[in-house]
Structure 1
Amino acid sequence: MKIKGRMALAAVAALCGCQTSNQADYMQIGYGPSFDVAHAQCELQKGSADQGYIAIGSPGFVAGAGIGNALGNLAAEDQYMKNCLILSGWKRAPHGQGDAAAAVASGVPPTTYGIARAPGSWINTALLDWSDANNKCIAGDKTACATKAKLGAKLKAAGINPSPV
């Protein structure tokens, strides 16, 4: 009996030791909050994926049902976190290819305000670029003023009137 208990404990420890969750494992795939904000929001809600259990029988059966339920809940929470982070604009990256690892390796600072340009939406990108150009223009950058005027004309042609926020 002691051998079976040790084997079960070793299996649970091995399964639990495989979980990692840091920004180096994720890459930003769309518009959304920074990784820390998205991860915290998902972490607060992941308990909703847990399922309870009822087991009646021998102590060994009840313990086995509890361990099985715990493993099932871990898998459900992991899937919930994956889906929640995707909805927040983050996706698991192949090992070592996440945003944090890529930014450190290339020396590129993280995205401004913790958001990335929205993929496929030229209007959102143009609005963010217009805002950046407006701030630089106010500071006296003549090139930024020309960029601001050009982007402003494109946005107005699309029916959007940009204004400083």
Structure 2
Amino acid sequence: MKRKSLMALVAIVPLCGCQTSNQADYMQIGYGPSFEVAHAQCEMQKGSVDQGYIAIGSPGFVAGAGIGNALGNLAAEDQYMKNCLILSGWKRAPHGQGAAAAAAVVAGAPPTPYGIQRAPGSWINTALLDWSSANNQCIAGNKASCATRAKLGAQLKAAGVNPAPI
């Protein structure tokens, strides 16, 4: 029995170190709270995705069901953390780029507003942000921005969105 328990433990241990929560692993993709605040909020709520289990049978079956449930809960919590942090304006950085993104945030560089590469399939969000920027510049006296604002306004109205200054 000890041998089976040891084999199960050896199989599970490599899976336990997969989740990291270092800010260097994430990059800011939009406006929202700091990484520490977003991570703490998501961390407090991630337990809500855990599922319970009921197992009746031999001790080996019950132990196997418990281990399977624990692994399923770990996967669900990891997915929840990923999605929660995305909603808060953070995502996992591609390998090797997280440290540079974190350094830019620490240096005080504001996050880039959502662009086409950050909001695929949602040109309306990008157009609204661009329209707002062009509107502010037009009010400041930039005539080229007034033309851009008019062009974007026509595209948005054709899509059923009526842009208006806030």
Query: Unaligned regions of 5+ residues in structure 1, if any?
Result: 131-147
2:157 is matched with which residue? none
Matches within 5 A, 1:93-104: 93-98=93-98, 101-102=99-100
Give the C-alpha shift of residue 107 in structure 1.
Answer: 9.7
2:57 is matched with which residue? 57
Distance 1:110-1:125 versus aligned 2 partners, 3 A rule: farther
Could you tell me how far apart the structure 1 residues matched to 2:101 and 2:50 are? Answer: 35
Indicate whether 1:9 and 2:16 are aligned: no
1:122 is matched with which residue? 130
Between 1:48-57 and 1:22-31, the stretch displaced more is 22-31
Q: Indicate the SS of the match to 1:31.
A: coil
Distance 1:82-1:107 versus aligned 2 partners, 3 A rule: closer
Report the residue type matching 1:109 in the other structure: A
Is the CA contact 2:29–2:90 (under 8 Å) kept in the aligned structure 1? yes
Could you tell me how far apart the structure 1 residues matched to 2:23 and 2:57 are? Answer: 44
Give the C-alpha shift of residue 22 in structure 1.
Answer: 1.1
Matches within 5 A, 1:121-140: 121-122=129-130
1:69-110 CA distances to partner (integer Å, 9 max, x unpaired)? Answer: 111000000011111111111111122311xx1157679703
Could you tell me how far apart the structure 1 residues matched to 2:36 and 2:134 are? Answer: 26
Distance 1:14-1:36 versus aligned 2 partners, 3 A rule: same
1:46 is matched with which residue? 46
Report the residue type matching 1:117 in the other structure: P
Could you tell me how far apart the structure 1 residues matched to 2:164 and 2:105 are? Answer: 38
Q: TM-score, normalised by structure 1?
A: 0.68
Is the CA contact 1:26–1:93 (under 8 Å) kept in the aligned structure 2? yes
Could you tell me how far apart the structure 2 residues matched to 1:85 and 1:104 are? Answer: 15
Report the residue type matching 1:27 in the other structure: M
Query: Unaligned regions of 5+ residues in structure 2, if any?
Result: 116-125, 151-162
Distance 1:86-1:124 versus aligned 2 partners, 3 A rule: farther
| Paired positions, count | 138
Is the CA contact 1:118–1:124 (under 8 Å) kept in the aligned structure 2? no
Report the residue type matching 2:43 in the other structure: E
Could you tell me how far apart the structure 1 residues matched to 2:42 and 2:102 are? Answer: 25
Q: Identity of paired residues, percent?
A: 71
2:156 is matched with which residue? none
